[in-house]
Amino acid sequence: MSELLGVAVLGAGHMGADHVRRLDRVVSGARVAAVADPDADRAKEAVAGMDGVAVHTTAQAALDAPGVEAVLIASPGEAHEEALLAAFARGLPVLCEKPMVPDSAGALRVVEAEARGGRRLAQIGFMRRYDTEYRQLKSLLDGGRLGRPLMLHCVHRNVSSPPHFTSAMLVTSSVSHEIDAARWLLGQELTAVSVLRPRPSAGAPAGLLDPQFVLFETEGGALVDVEIFVNCGFGYEVRCEAVCESGSARIGEAHGMRVSAAGAAGEEVPQDYLVRFADAYDRQVQAWVDATRRGRVTGPGAWDGYAASVAAEAGVRSLETGTRTPVVPAPRPALYDRP
C-alpha cells in the first residue's frame, strides 16, 4: 500500500463528483488516482485542478490505471455488478454506492463471487450507519435502557424525483436506506413487506405512485413503517422514531438556522441528501480508507447489499400486487458470519 491510497472513482455525476472532492479535500490517507465516466468532459470537470489523475471513459481502463489500489463506485446502479466483479478479479477493495446491484439475482452473484475469493473486499454505501444521530440511536437501542424495540416509524422525503424515476424505484432506490437502517438498528432480518398506495400527489409526475407507505415485519416481531414521498416539494427530510417497551427516541429533527423577519419565523430545510448527510458521507469514506489501509472491511458489506435488494424486490412485488409479500433471502455464505 502506498503512502496515500490510490482510489479509482467510477462515475463523475452528482454523487461521483462529490466523492472526488471528498477524497481530494476532506479525507486523509487517500488520493484520486483515476476517474472513469462515459462522458469524458464530465470526468475532466470533476478532477479539474487536480494533478496526476488519469481520466478514462470505461471502468476497466480506470481499474487498470497506474497507482490504483482501491475503487469507489458511484456509477448508475445497473453498472455496479460488472464493476464489482472486475474489482474482485483484481483483488481491489471497493466502496460501492447503493443499491449494490438493482436486482437480487445480480446481488447474489456478487455475494457468491466474493465468497469464492474467501476475502471480504466490498463495503456498501449505506452512509446512515455513519450519521451521528443514527449512531446515537443504535447505541441507545443496543444498551437496552428503553427495553425491546417494538416499532420504527420512518419518514423519507425528497424535494423532487429525477426524470427517470419509476414507482418501483421509490422502494429499490430510496427505501433501500431504511431497509439497511432497520436491519442495523434492530439487529433483525426483515421477513415480510406490505406496500400501500395512497392517492398520488398532484406534485408527482404523471404515472408515478408517490407517496407510498411501506410496512416491514421483522424476525423479532418488530414493525417498521416508512413514508416515502419523493416529490414533497419543500425539502429533504429523513426522520426515524424507535418505540420501545419503556420509552421512545426520535432522530432527524435537528434544526438549522431559524430566521425571524417581516412578522414571520422560519427554519431552513435541507434541499439535498448531500447536505443532510454531508458529515456521514465524510465519516463513511474516511472509515473505508482507514480500514482498507489495514486490509479490512468494517462497514456494511456485500451481504448487506444483497439483503437490501431482496427486501426491496419483495416490496416491488407487494406494490404491484397489493399483497403482503415474504422476504426470502438465499442462505448466507460462511464468509459473512465472520466479523
pLDDT at 227 (0 to 100): 98
- Alpha carbon 109 to its chain's center: 19
What are the residues whose beta carbons fall under 8 Å from the beta carbon of 239, sequence distance 6 or more?
A: 154, 155, 250, 251, 252, 253
* pLDDT score, position 276: 81
Helix (H) or strand (E) holding 321: helix 302-321
Residues 6+ apart with CB under 8 A from 118: 335
Listing DSSP states for 240-266 in one string gives: EEEEETTEEEEES-----EEEETTEEE
Reading the block at residue 272, the C-alpha cell is 439535498
What residue ranges do the domains of the chain occupy?
A: 5-127+279-307+333-337, 131-167+191-272
- Domain 131-167+191-272 sits in CATH 2.50.20.10: no
Is residue 306 packed enough to be buried (19+ CB in 10 Å), middle (13-18) or exposed (0-12)? Answer: buried
* Whether 224 contacts 196, CB under 8 Å: no
- Per-residue pLDDT, 261: 61
- Which residue in 189, 194, 229, 243 sits closest to 214, CA to CA? 194
pLDDT reported for residue 244: 97
User: Cell numbers at residue 175, please?
Assistant: 427505501
The pLDDT of residue 263 is 74
Per-residue confidence (pLDDT) for residue 2, from 0 to 100: 74
Strands, E assignment, the chain: 5-10, 30-36, 54-56, 70-73, 94-96, 122-124, 149-157, 190-196, 212-218, 223-229, 237-244, 247-251, 258-261, 264-267, 325-326
| 65 touches 54 (CB < 8 A) | yes
- 223 pairs with which residues across the strands? 151, 217
Per-residue model confidence (pLDDT) at position 253: 84
Q: Give the pLDDT of residue 259.
A: 62
What pLDDT does 275 receive? 77
CATH of domain 5-127+279-307+333-337: 3.40.50.720
pLDDT value of position 274:
63
Q: Give pLDDT, residue 337.
A: 87
pLDDT under 70: residue ranges of the chain: 1, 254-261, 265-268, 271-274, 338-339
CA–CA separation, 130 vs 24, rounded Å? 20
- Residue 71 is classified by DSSP as E
Quote the pLDDT of residue 313. 97
Model-level pTM greater than 0.85?
Answer: yes
